[in-house]
Structure 1
Amino acid sequence: MMKFYEETIKSTSIYKGNVTEYIVEEVKLPNGEMSQREIVRHAGASAVIPFTQSGEIVLVKQYRKAIDKVSIEIPAGLKDDSDLDGLHTAKRELEEETDYNAKSWKFVTSFYSTPGFTDEFLEIYEATDLYLVDDSLAQDDDETVEVIIATYDEAWDLYEQGLLRDSKTVFALFYWKMKKLEIKLGE
């Protein structure tokens, strides 16, 4: 049976920021050879697939410096010290980014975003029966977002134009497609 474990021999933090920490680890591979791993440590995040009462999705448009492009995404954000759990993070982020909250929340899935180099763990929730919050939470100081409400066809058009490309939002789009197919099959 093949052994799947890399023993950490030395771990060096080369930078610690507000969101991530960058680690270089010297590891011993299962075959005994030495190698180096560059790892980004991340506190985790939550994302929301928010559906309006009329069955549209609420998205946010923002500039993402890492890709030097505008990106259209589902609302999401980092867990912070005050968050009790991923659902709390999701509710806070939906309100901060869109001024909406929801009457109904459902856990959908969770996954590691890119385990080849980061331990970021993302939880995704579905929010339905949205309503506008009168005195909503303020956006983060470093965020500039525009709310977009899109039909299913409009969201797919954004995807086909290359404006909707981040993994959590592509997942949300295919999740929506699956829900629509289940409804059709159930008719």
Structure 2
Amino acid sequence: MGFWTGPVSDEKAAKPVVESERRFEGRIWNVRTDTVDLGGAEPVERDLVEHTGAVGVVALDGDDQVLLLRQYRHAVQAYLWEPPAGLLDVEGEDPLEAAERELWEETGYRARTWHVLVDYYNSPGGSSESFRCYLARDLERVPEGERHEGEDEEVDMPLAWVPLDQAVEAVLAGRIHNPTGVSGVLAASVARAGGWAALRPADAPWEWRIPLGAPGSA
């Protein structure tokens, strides 16, 4: 194993899938086993979750306070403080439109200024989930009669305005664990320190998004 001498930048590469078998089909995502030729003596098997992808929103007010909500997450048996976010599970919906919808549904706010803040894979070792986090500013409260009524875990979620610097401290101290909260808060802090110059436009291409079921979909 040697040291890499080229630029440090992710590179797309689709290894040949020899066989693919659907193991589980769920309400939101599926699980499959791919037999992949990595170039070694024998192909290897990899289990993965086929995921729709998702978007999140770091919403900042004029005083650089970030809007967080408290939501119960059954998989980790905890209430987590996190930015508004949601699945890309509406057929044909643009990711930015999904982010605008999630901000409205979960917080009762709309934003006039949008940028792409950060893109990432939530768990690339076993899930195809692509995630795009937006930065939303110039916020306005939606009139009472136009607000969304949540369901299940989204009913009566408390909201909190947290100064961005305090949110960074909470992340580094291990008090915030949601991945959108961790990456989004830190990315927003870095972007602000650079005068927001590194932000991408809201409609920036999302070339690293993985379509549901690809590659090797059964």
Identify the TM-score tier after normalising by the shorter chain: 0.7 to 0.9
Q: Displacement of 1:161 after TM fit?
A: 4.8
Opposite residue 193 of structure 2, the aligned amino acid is L
Q: Displacement of 1:125 after TM fit?
A: 1.0
Higher relative contact order (CA 8 A, sep 6+): 2
Match of 1:22 in 2: 31
- Gap change, CA 1:100 and 1:124, over 3 Å in 2: same
Q: Given that residues 118 and 187 in structure 2 are in contact (C-alpha distance below 8 angstroms), is that contact kept between their aligned partners in structure 1?
A: no
Q: Distance in 2 between matches of 1:94 and 1:83?
A: 19
Q: Distance in 2 between matches of 1:122 and 1:61?
A: 20
Which residue, out of 116, 123, 137, partners 2:148?
Answer: 137
Task: Give structure 1 regions of 4+ aligned residues with deviation exceeding 6 angstroms.
Answer: none
Please tell me the root mean square deviation across aligned C-alpha atoms, in Å.
1.9
- Gap change, CA 1:82 and 1:11, over 3 Å in 2: closer
Q: Identity across aligned pairs (percent)?
A: 27
Match of 1:173 in 2: 185
CA-to-aligned-CA distance 1:12-44 (integer Å, 9 cap, x gap): 111122221101122233113132110101111
Opposite residue 176 of structure 1, the aligned amino acid is A
Match of 1:68 in 2: 77
- Gap change, CA 1:178 and 1:35, over 3 Å in 2: same
SS in 2 for 1:66: helix
Match of 1:53 in 2: 62
Q: Given that residues 60 and 75 in structure 1 are in contact (C-alpha distance below 8 angstroms), is that contact kept between their aligned partners in structure 2?
A: yes
Match of 1:89 in 2: 98
- Gap change, CA 1:28 and 1:160, over 3 Å in 2: closer
Unaligned runs of 5+ in 1: none
Q: Paired residues, what number?
A: 180
Match of 1:118 in 2: 127
Match of 2:113 in 1: 104
Q: Distance in 2 between matches of 1:53 and 1:19?
A: 36
- Gap change, CA 1:181 and 1:81, over 3 Å in 2: closer
Q: Distance in 2 between matches of 1:83 and 1:7?
A: 29
Larger strand fraction of residues: 1
Unaligned runs of 5+ in 2: 1-12, 196-218
